[in-house]
Amino acid sequence: VSRFERNVCVMEFTGQWCSQCPDGAKILNFLANEIYPGQIHVLAFHNNDEFSLPVEQALASEFNVEVYPYYLTDMREGGELRGNGCSESIMKSLYETETFCGPSVSCDYDAASGIVDVMAKVISEKTMEYRLAAYVVEDKVVAEQTLGTGMQQDYVHRHVVRKMLSADWAGDRLGEIAAGEEGRKT
């Protein structure tokens, strides 16, 4: 039994132009806040709008995202963000995927330079190769959204990915970390 508590990363693929995406966001917010509080970390990747980043296209291509809204659980399993598919995928990841490591993140902000240093470390229980992917996420961004009526209006966007800190969407290589040791990346 691992000493680490399992958490799940759910990537949401969305767009301001997508009239069905607010319904998908409601499902994710309900799961993250009501069903699995503190166990789910949501990253919203926007397609073809003011919040778009090149990493969204790379992820969408790699994981065959063809419909919006779409979810991807722990970069393993995805599908259209409707019905129970996302919830089942989260349960599978929480209860059927073994946990061998624990990540930790800390940040320092230098007000004079405006620079933020992010330090991440991974403590391993099993000797393995590890990668670390880091993103800057902004929550509760107010901007236009197309709603089910086809009208655009101000909307509160949650978990918006604003920047990728890793060199690649799959993460930076930390190399092999021996059991009981830690790897770091700044």
pLDDT confidence bin for 154, thresholds 50/70/90:
very high
State the pLDDT at residue 79.
96
- What is d(CA 161, CA 63) in angstroms, rounded to the nearest whole number? 18
In the chain the first and final C-alpha atoms are separated, in Å, by 30
pLDDT tens digits, residue range 19-35? 999 999 999 999 999 99
- The residue that leads in pLDDT, 83 or 72, is 72
pLDDT tens digits, residue range 108-149? 999 999 998 989 999 999 999 999 999 999 999 999 999 988
Buried residues in 117-128 as b, exposed as e (16+ CB within 10 A): eeebbbbbbeee
Question: Is the confidence at residue 40, as pLDDT, over 90?
Answer: yes
DSSP-assigned beta bridge partners for residue 157? 141
Question: Is the confidence at residue 150, as pLDDT, over 90?
Answer: no
State the pLDDT at residue 2.
81
pLDDT confidence bin for 83, thresholds 50/70/90:
confident
pTM of the model: 0.92
What DSSP line would sit under 59-87, residue for residue?
Answer: HHHHTT--SSSEEEETTTEEEESSTTHHH
Query: Is the link from the previous residue into 69 a cis peptide, with omega within 30 of 0?
Result: yes
State the pLDDT at residue 3.
85
pLDDT confidence bin for 9, thresholds 50/70/90:
very high
For 7-20, what is the mean pLDDT?
Answer: 96
Question: How far, rounded to the nearest angstrom, does the alpha carbon of residue 13 sit from its chain's CA centroid?
Answer: 10
Q: What is the mean pLDDT of the chain?
A: 93
∠ at Cα 120 (115, 126), nearest 5°? 170
State the pLDDT at residue 80.
95
Question: Is the confidence at residue 89, as pLDDT, over 90?
Answer: yes
State the pLDDT at residue 11.
97
Question: Is the confidence at residue 1, as pLDDT, over 80?
Answer: no
State the pLDDT at residue 116.
87
